Amino acid sequence: MAIYDSRRRRNRVAKVMAVGATVFGLAWLVLILAVLLWEGFSGLSLAVFTQMTPPPGSAGGLLNPIVGSLIMTVIAVAIGTPLGILAGTYMAEYGRYDKLTIVVRFINDILLSAPSIVIGLFIYEVMVAQMGHFSGWAGAMALAVIVVPVVVRTTEDMLILVPDTLREAAASIGLPRSLMIRRVAYRAARAGMVTGVLLAVARISGETAPLLFTALNNQFWSLNLNAPVASLPVVIFQFALSPYSDWQKLAWTGALIITLAVLALSIIARTLAAQRKSS
């Protein structure tokens, strides 16, 4: 009987540990979001979206970093998405069993998790050091390098899910392969590919490390992409580590804005993906 008891006891301990671990994991999510809402909401006002970043000791907002982040994100997506979709298309449609595809898939998966600060160093070496100054273009390029692997991955995955019968039907009525891909395969995989782009946007909108020494930061209103451009994550970094309490307050508000944006994007992406599955 003793052995049964000890087995049962051990099982009970393990179950408690499993439940405990889950509670532990969820507790962090709740804790982080609660603090963020608490600290961030109190600073949230219209001024945050209409005024520039202030010098320490005076009131201000986050307009220039928000706009800077938006611009660089849009450029990064505009550069990274077509490249990623085309590469994913090759891997799923033309060279599904090629050696090249296997190598690209492997390298792409590594790029997907490569430390983003290294990508910042890369763009610094290739663009900033060559041009001699920090710039918004360099920041956008660094973000684009992060977008590409995300889009490649989802595009390939989604195109592979498209049933071959669709392709065969298109081919049987005489559609050449490139048209078949663009008119049939892309359409069938559209929801999934949009999900991929949304996930990429969510990923780069919080990225700080690659912007630190590419786009740098800018205290003032500037739309010149050949000059340093402010971005929300970098401003949060600078303000949070500053000794001024009103800067820290703005950092929390900025953190709340980023988190809400990122969570909204990933929830939209998830719903899109779920719709696809159910249809």
Contacting another protein within 192-231 (CB under 8 A): 202, 205-209, 212-213, 216
User: Could you tell me which stretch among 32-40, 45-53, 58-66, 183-191 binds another protein (CB under 8 A)?
Assistant: 32-40
**Is residue 24 at the binding interface for another protein, with CB under 8 A as the rule?**
yes
In the complex, the smallest distance separating the C-beta of residue 78 from another protein, rounded to whole angstroms, is 15
Three-class SS state of 93: helix
Q: In the set 64, 73, 81, 116, which binds another protein (CB under 8 A)?
A: 116
* Among positions 37, 63, 79, 83, the unique one binding another protein when judged by CB under 8 A: 83
CA distances from 205 to 5, 74, 87, 125, 209 (A): 53, 10, 23, 23, 12
Does residue 59 touch another protein according to CB under 8 A? no
Q: State yes or no: residue 248 binds another protein (CB under 8 A).
A: yes
Pick from 2, 29, 46, 173 the residue near another protein by CB under 8 A: 29
Q: Identify the DSSP state of 53.
A: P
41 lies in the binding site for another protein (CB under 8 A):
no
Neighbouring residues of 216: CB distance < 8 A, sequence distance ≥ 6: 134, 139, 228, 229, 234
Give, in degrees to the nearest 5, the angle at Cα 83 between 277 and 275. Answer: 10
Which of 62, 71, 104, 150 lies at the binding interface for another protein (CB under 8 A)?
Answer: 104
Judged by CB under 8 A, the stretch of 93-101, 160-168, 186-194, 219-227 that binds another protein is 93-101
Q: Does 87 bind another protein (CB under 8 A)?
A: yes
**Which of 103, 161, 169, 171 is close enough to bind another protein by CB under 8 A?**
103
Number of chain residues interacting with another protein (CB under 8 A): 90
Q: Given candidates 157, 219, 259, 276, which one binds another protein under the rule CB under 8 A?
A: 259
241 binds another protein (CB under 8 A): yes
CB of 181 to another protein, least distance (A): 7
